Amino acid sequence: MIRTVADLHTHTSVSQHAYSSLDEMARSAAELGLAAIGITDHGPGMMDGAIRHHFYCMRGLPKAVHGLRLVTGAEVNIKDFEGGLDLDRDVLRQLDFVVASYHVEAIDPAGLKLHTQGWLNVIANPDVDCLGHCGNPVFACDYEAVVKACREHKKAVEINSSSFKVRPGSAETCRTVALLCKEYGVPVLISSDAHSRYFVGDHEAAIRLLESVGFPEELVINGEKGRLMNYLDRLEQGKAL
């Protein structure tokens, strides 16, 4: 049975289309008994993304709040199919956790071939830790090529629980991604992508999908506390999976 002990991809009101403070998000995570919360606001390429200085100053935050490990992070926007991101590496290297995503607000969809090329370039970037909602059918790609590249470069693949609500058609594509991760032994992170405190730790849809494909529990990075902490320690040391 799959369960989760952390939520590493969440947003705060630093992004104006999210509605809770960092402290509210952390309190919700603590109330759920999670071991860690990641704060990953949108990069400046999103119309209401945070400014660079927001991410730069995250290093001043405490390592633990409300008994939880606080993971500083960003959800960077993929700006082009060369793998360009909307935050520079000086800032990305100071963050604990970087998830990179395609968003229509930051880049126009351009077909399977270019979407795949973009992912392959992003996966090769040592400053990126995890692929955000790569099952979004708007940015359909060669999922097998992408998952194989994640194995090669030791990147995590996110199964984003919000996708089933806000990204139509994601159930089928996420199933494909999950099956490929299972086949190639690529670890996944289950995240809520919560934009308010009320959805922190809401991983139900992603767990249901993973269980439906018989996904191995040991490949869920945030499925067990020791595994999660080991992963976060490695990220802090600048290492991959």
Interface with Zn ion (CB under 5 A): 75, 101, 193
Nearest residue (CB) to Zn ion, 140 versus 184: 140
In angstroms, give the least distance from the CB of 15 to Zn ion.
8
Nearest residue (CB) to Zn ion, 108 versus 214: 108
In angstroms, give the least distance from the CB of 42 to Zn ion.
7
In angstroms, give the least distance from the CB of 161 to Zn ion.
11
Nearest residue (CB) to Zn ion, 7 versus 193: 193
In angstroms, give the least distance from the CB of 176 to Zn ion.
19
Nearest residue (CB) to Zn ion, 67 versus 221: 221
In angstroms, give the least distance from the CB of 189 to Zn ion.
12
Pairwise CA distance, residues 96 & 77, whole Å: 17
Nearest residue (CB) to Zn ion, 17 versus 239: 17
